[in-house]
Amino acid sequence: MPELPKSWGLKAKKNARGTLDIIGKDDAGNDYKVRTTDTADVTDTDIAELKAADRESYSNRESGAKEFVKNLLGEQQDKSPEALLDAQLSFDDSDWIAAAEPIVHAGFERKGCTVGFSDIPQEKWDAIWRD
């Protein structure tokens, strides 16, 4: 079982779920929960993710923060916007669509339902589109 590096000053305490809460100290000396492990022990993954989140481990904080976020996003960072949209819409949304159909029909697709700008005077309408 891997151990937390002593230099980090973190302690592991069992919680009610049987996993570990990793506790650290803030600048004022107060305890705070850094992380809760997924298992009853500290794993290599826990240590690697804690190290990746340590802002002091990067020589340049800005580039370090960008690298951290990029790693959090994983492969999605490299995908095109269209591929990300397809991935978001790939879940089974037929129940949502079926529930929304009567509302959409009532509000937007009714015969005789129009949306217009007749309440806006012509000079204001023209002013909106001027350069």
Residues 131 and 85 in one domain: yes
Contacts of 26 (CB under 8 A, 6+ apart): 32
Residues 89 and 120 in one domain: yes
> What secondary structure does DSSP assign to 25-60, as a single string?
E-TTS-EEEEEE-SSSS--HHHHHHHHHH-GGGSSS
Residues 83 and 128 in one domain: yes
- Domain hosting residue 42, numbered range: 6-57
Summarize pLDDT for 50-101 with one digit per residue, the tens: 888 887 777 887 888 888 787 777 755 556 666 666 665 555 566 677 777 7
Residues 84 and 41 in one domain: no
Residues 43 and 85 in one domain: no
- Asked, for residue 1, whether it belongs to a domain, the answer is no
Summarize pLDDT for 114-126 with one digit per residue, the tens: 555 566 677 777 7
Its pTM stands at 0.50
If one counts the domains in the chain, the total is 2
pLDDT of residue 17: 92
- Asked, for residue 33, whether it belongs to a domain, the answer is yes
